[in-house]
Structure 1
Amino acid sequence: MERQQHLDAWQHSGLTQKGYCRQNNISLSAFYYWMKHSKDNAGATLTPAFIPARRVTVDNTHAQTVTLNLPNGCSVSCFPTQLMGVMQTLSLC
Structure 2
Amino acid sequence: MRRNRYSPEQKQQHVTQWRHSGLTRKQYCQQHQLNFSSFRDWIADSKKRSQDPNPGLSAVLPVSLQPDQTHTVTVQTPDGYAITCPLALLPGVIQVLTRC
Structure 1 residue runs of 5 or longer lacking an equivalent are: 12-16, 19-28
The residue that corresponds to 2:78 in the other structure is: 71
Does residue 1:52 correspond to 2:62, yes or no? yes
Structure 2 residue runs of 5 or longer lacking an equivalent are: 18-27
Output the CA distance in 2 between the equivalents of 1:35 and 1:56. Answer: 39
2:5 to 2, 5, 14: 2
| CA drift at 1:92 | 1.2
Output the CA distance in 1 between the equivalents of 2:42 and 2:98. Answer: 19
Distance 1:63 1:10, change over 3 A: farther
Q: Whose radius of gyration is greater, 1 or 2?
A: 2
| CA drift at 1:49 | 2.0
Amino acid at match of 2:64: R
Question: CA offsets per residue over residues 15-41 of structure 1, 9 Å max, x none?
Answer: xx88xxxxxxxxxx448x877642404
The residue that corresponds to 1:38 in the other structure is: 42
Residue identity (%): 21
Output the CA distance in 2 between the equivalents of 1:52 and 1:72. Answer: 11
| CA drift at 1:63 | 1.4
Output the CA distance in 2 between the equivalents of 1:9 and 1:41. Answer: 13
TM-score by length of 1: 0.55
Provide the aligned C-alpha RMSD in A.
3.5
| CA drift at 1:44 | 2.1
